[in-house]
Amino acid sequence: MSFPFIPNKKVEVPEIAYKDRVTLDSQNTALIIVDMQNDFVKEKGKLVVPAARETIPGIKNLLSSARKAGVPVAYTLDTMKEDDPEFDIWPEHCKENTWGWEVIPELKPRQDELICPKLRYDGFYGTGLEHTLSHVWKVENVVIVGTVSNICVLHTASSAGLRWYKVIIPADGISALTEFDQALTLSQVSNLYSGIVVKSTEDVVFK
């Protein structure tokens, strides 16, 4: 059955199949923090997602748990060049080596953690993320948090799913501009990529 687009018609959001809790082997799991940069998160940022600030405590606690368990951590950084073609789509933001490009202080990377500057939404596109996950860290599971849910988070999660990583997303660890965008992301990950969606970062346990 086809569903043609009907303007101004209310769209029913599919029910999201949340898992109660997921316990992951720290030996084959990585944490990916997507684009938690000043321009997206901080009040003076150039392309702020207001809900992103609410995710900081949960992501910070999850990051601490990952570090204690020896789970490797990767950060993706939206990285724009001068006169970047993406500025035809979005206002100028995350220009390389500016304050707005930097990871927020609350989630500051350690020297031994992976930084993946990226030129588009997808954390795998044109970066060394896949090489490190597969060939250095030998990862099977990826826990993904960050912003913006339906853009950089979803494109990164999609690429991970297409590479047969098991994707785990805590709903309170990602942020979007609208409730629809948030629900879309969780539904896509759960249904298209057989990912695991939990409600809270506290529901992700590393052993």
Measured between alpha carbons, how far is 101 from 95 in angstroms, rounded to an integer? 6
Reported as a pLDDT band with limits 50, 70 and 90, residue 2 is low
Measured between alpha carbons, how far is 183 from 199 in angstroms, rounded to an integer? 12
Residue type, 99: W
* Cβ neighbours, 10 Å, residue 200: 15
Reported as a pLDDT band with limits 50, 70 and 90, residue 11 is confident
Domains of the chain plus CATH, in order, are 18-81+91-206 (3.40.50.850)
Instruction: Give the pLDDT confidence score for residue 4 in this predicted structure.
Output: 64
Measured between alpha carbons, how far is 35 from 117 in angstroms, rounded to an integer? 9
- Reported as a single tens digit per residue, the pLDDT across 59-104 is 999 999 999 999 999 999 999 998 888 888 988 999 999 999 999 9
pLDDT at 1 over 60: no
Reported as a pLDDT band with limits 50, 70 and 90, residue 9 is confident
Measured between alpha carbons, how far is 4 from 1 in angstroms, rounded to an integer? 10
Instruction: Give the pLDDT confidence score for residue 17 in this predicted structure.
Output: 87
pLDDT at 106 over 80: yes
Q: Is the peptide bond before 198 cis (omega within 30 degrees of 0)?
A: no
For residue 170, with 0-12 CB atoms within 10 Å meaning exposed, 13-18 middle and 19 or more buried, which class applies? buried
Chain length of the chain: 207
C-beta separation of 23 from 132 below 8 A: no
87 contact partners, CB below 8 Å, separation of at least 6? 80
pLDDT at 129 over 90: yes
C-beta separation of 112 from 145 below 8 A: no
C-beta separation of 117 from 110 below 8 A: no
pLDDT at 14 over 90: no
CA 105 to chain centre: 17
- The DSSP annotation for 23-57 comes to EE-GGGEEEEEE--BHHHHSTT-SS--TTHHHHHH
pLDDT at 12 over 90: no
SS3 128: coil
Reported as a pLDDT band with limits 50, 70 and 90, residue 3 is low
Measured between alpha carbons, how far is 61 from 179 in angstroms, rounded to an integer? 24
Both tokens of 69, joined, read: 């368990």
Measured between alpha carbons, how far is 52 from 34 in angstroms, rounded to an integer? 11
| 186-191 average pLDDT score | 93
pLDDT at 107 over 90: yes
